Every structure is written in structure tokens, then in C-alpha cells.
Amino acid sequence: MELDWKQPALVGGVIAGLLSVIPLISLANCCFCAWLLVGGAVAANMLIKRTPRPVRSGEGAKVGAMAGLIAAGIYSLISLAMVVFGIGQDVQQQQEALNRAAEMTDDPQVREMMQRLIGMIANQTPAQRIVFALVILMMVSALYVGFSTLGGLLGVALFEKRRDQPPPPQYPPGYPQNYPPNYPPNYPPQYPPSSAPSGPSEAPGGSGGDQGGWPQG
């Protein structure tokens, strides 16, 4: 059966991607990429709700990975636009991080190298800045896909409650499956109520009853 991947992946990806770029809210990603896990799990949950049969773990991974790709695309587009148009504090943040790292060491040679690196980052041309951003974005995109896949897997583990049900019957190819609701006619047969108690002489499995058989009503 073909599953409808697109909408769950899109919804999960948009949720994860947008929440990962909104300032302050995106800080939750510092906690084990929380928004990516949520996005993957949302996609898996949507897939489960739209699928009449139990969703397999692999399908959860697949929809999670697709959601992660979409989230990475959204994040990359917005981040690249910010770098190109000089919006945001990215360069400043890099310098601050390096400054902090430089302060952590007592080695004068290391400090000097760090200062040189800080100078390099400050004097980056826009092209260099874009290349640096692309390298980082590739790493981040791989992380996004990985964590979102994880979210999809965990989503199936948590939300798929039909795992222990038997799979639907597999009909041979070409077998008609669209019978009218009351087909076959006069089935199940209506027997007159029997006054005789059913005893051990009854054939095993003859009347169905608790042992399964044709569903009643």
C-alpha cells in the first residue's frame, strides 16, 4: 500500500525548521536537538493517523528523514539569507566564542594564534563568509536529518499502538475487494432459536462463537 508521505513530512519539517530559526525558541535545540525530534515525531504521528494499517519503524524513519530534509532546507535558506544580507550576529558570535576560547588558555603562543584567527574572521570577504557558512550548514543539515530520523523512529515507537494487531488479509492480485456492504446476501444465515442445549456432541468450531468466526454486525 502506498503511504501518503508528503503532508506529514512537510508539516513535521516546517514545524522543526521554523522553530529552529526563531530566536529564543530555537534555544530548545540546545537540548539534544529537541525541535528536530519533535518535528520527526509529529511527522510519524501524522503518518500513523493517516494509515489504516500499523506503520512500520522503517516508515517512521523515512518520514522523519524527509521532515529533517525539509527542516534543513528551511534553516539553510534563512541562515544563508541572513549571512548574505549581513543580518544576525553570526560573525560577532564566532569572534566572541574564539575570544572565550583564547581566554581559557595560558599559553601565549595559543593566544596569539587565536587572535590571528579572530582577525581572519573579522576581515572575511562576503564570499569567504558564505563558504564558511556553507560548510557549517552542511554539517548542521546532516545533524538535522539524523535527529529528525531519530524523532520519526521514536515517534513510531511511542504512538503506534496497533503493532500487535494481525495484518489485514492479503488478497491475491485481481481479487475484488469492493463488495457491497450486505454481500453475500442472506449471510450470516439466521437459524431458528434452538431449545436444545449445546452439549459436547457439538462439532468443534461449528458455530464460531468465542473462537472467532465471522464478525457479527
Partner 1 sequence: MNVTVRRNAMIVYAALLTLSILWAALILAAPWLMAERHFLASAVIYKGFSAVCHQAPERSFYFHGRPMGVCSRCASIYAGFIIGLLLYPFLRDLREDRFPPRWILIGAAVPTVIDFAGGVLGLFANTFLSRALTGVLFGAVAAFYVTPGLVSAFNDWRADLANHKARC
By the criterion CB under 8 A, which residues form the site for partner 1? 27, 29-33, 56-62, 94, 97-98, 101, 104, 109-110, 113-114, 117, 135-136, 139-140, 143-144, 147, 150, 152-154, 156-158, 163
The cell for 49 is 493517523
In the complex, the smallest distance separating the C-beta of residue 79 from partner 1, rounded to whole angstroms, is 10
Structural contact between residues 76 and 184, judged by C-beta atoms closer than 8 angstroms: no
Min separation Cβ 217 and partner 1, Å: 33
What is the 8-class DSSP label of residue 117?
A: H
Nearer to partner 1, 70 or 153 (CB): 153
Spatial neighbors of 129 by CB under 8 A, at least 6 apart, are: 83, 91
∠ CA 129-132-136, nearest 5°, is: 135
Nearer to partner 1, 122 or 135 (CB): 135
| Nearest distance from C-beta of residue 192 to partner 1, angstroms | 48
Nearest to 47 by CA among 160, 164, 168: 160
Shortest approach of partner 1 to residue 109 CB, angstroms? Answer: 8
Q: Which residue has the cell 475487494?
A: 177
Which CB sits closer to partner 1, 46 or 149?
Answer: 149
